Amino acid sequence: MDCSTYAKELKSLEKLRCQYCGSTVLTYGGSTFCHICEGLVLPAASPPEPISEAYSMFASGKIADAKEALSGACKGSQNARLLFGAANIFDAISDWEYSAADYGRPGFMYENSNSIYASLDTTSKSKEMLYKSIKLLLQEYTESKNAEASYLLFAANIKLKRKVYAFRQLAELEDEPSKYANTVYAAEYSEKSAKAHIDSLLGKHVNSLYYLSKYLIHLRKFKAASDVLDAINSNVFMPKAAYLMQRLKLLLEETRL
């Protein structure tokens, strides 16, 4: 399938709302995985009100308001899912802030330093919330062996790049979350099985296109990766795909020098 087909296909998909982070998610039908937090999004689910508001602020570019709202929502919270959703919006904001640094600016680039410091600060907030969420999810999972908690533990650990913990959690998963999590793990760590995993999810979950682009970059097929990322970014708000596209452009500029 070529990239114009991906773009055409994405335009026709239905939308869901992620119950963890509030983002709009495209689905080929039924439940699918969130473009921001990787949570398993269920049809007709909705996020907690403070998360919904914070996400709307972020999506409309009100970054400072979104960060304040997220900090307020997380303060003293013992809700693992709320903390997981908030952590992932913080992480998406961090990517946005990093992307705001413009390396084409003349002079000493003070503005760039500000964007990068803001991004690092937001990343540390995201990590703090993810660790709190993991602590609560572990308690819940130990007591109940709840399948949702098990998958969220995988998603939180992979976000924190805790490879061993994410790998251990893979063995605890079943069904669609297991297939998807194995794809994410293989793509993130460039495992030999990545291509076969990604192929098995194309046309089922939109995020598989993001992992396809990562895999193509790993193979140094930059033009093909850029085409896939263009198809995503012109159809859906997926900050990690926008961030990856920006990193790819920088990489291509550097290799041209």
Contacts to Zn ion by CB under 5 A: 18, 20-21, 34, 36-37, 39
Q: Which is nearer to Zn ion, 34 or 245 (CB)?
A: 34
Q: Which is nearer to Zn ion, 39 or 177 (CB)?
A: 39
Shortest reach from residue 169's CB to Zn ion, in Å: 18
Long-range own/partner contacts, residues 48-52 (CB < 8 A, 24 or more apart): 48/73, 48/79, 48/82, 48/85, 50/82, 51/20, 51/21, 51/22, 51/82, 51/85, 51/86, 51/89, 52/22
Write the CA distances from 137 to 83, 130, 172, 184, 245, integer angstroms. 10, 10, 14, 20, 33
Shortest reach from residue 115's CB to Zn ion, in Å: 24
DSSP lists the bridge partners of residue 27 as 14
Angle at which helices 3-11 and 222-233 cross, to 10°: 10
Shortest reach from residue 47's CB to Zn ion, in Å: 8
Beta carbons of 10 and 235 less than 8 angstroms apart: yes
Q: Which is nearer to Zn ion, 34 or 238 (CB)?
A: 34
DSSP lists the bridge partners of residue 14 as 27
Question: What is the phi/psi pair of residue 47, to 5°?
Answer: -80, 165
Identity (one letter) of the amino acid at 24?
T
Shortest reach from residue 75's CB to Zn ion, in Å: 21
The two three-digit tokens of residue 190, written as one number: 């460039």
Q: Which is nearer to Zn ion, 56 or 112 (CB)?
A: 56
Q: Which residue has the tokens 């993810």?
A: 130
Q: Which is nearer to Zn ion, 21 or 74 (CB)?
A: 21
Q: Which is nearer to Zn ion, 36 or 228 (CB)?
A: 36
Shortest reach from residue 34's CB to Zn ion, in Å: 3
Q: Which is nearer to Zn ion, 20 or 96 (CB)?
A: 20
Shortest reach from residue 239's CB to Zn ion, in Å: 11
Q: What is the 3-state secondary structure (H, E, C) of 101-148?
A: CCCCCCCCCHHHHHHHHHHHHHHHHHHHHHHHHHHHHHHHHHHHCCHH
Quote the CA–CA distance of 242 and 106 in Å, as a whole number. 24
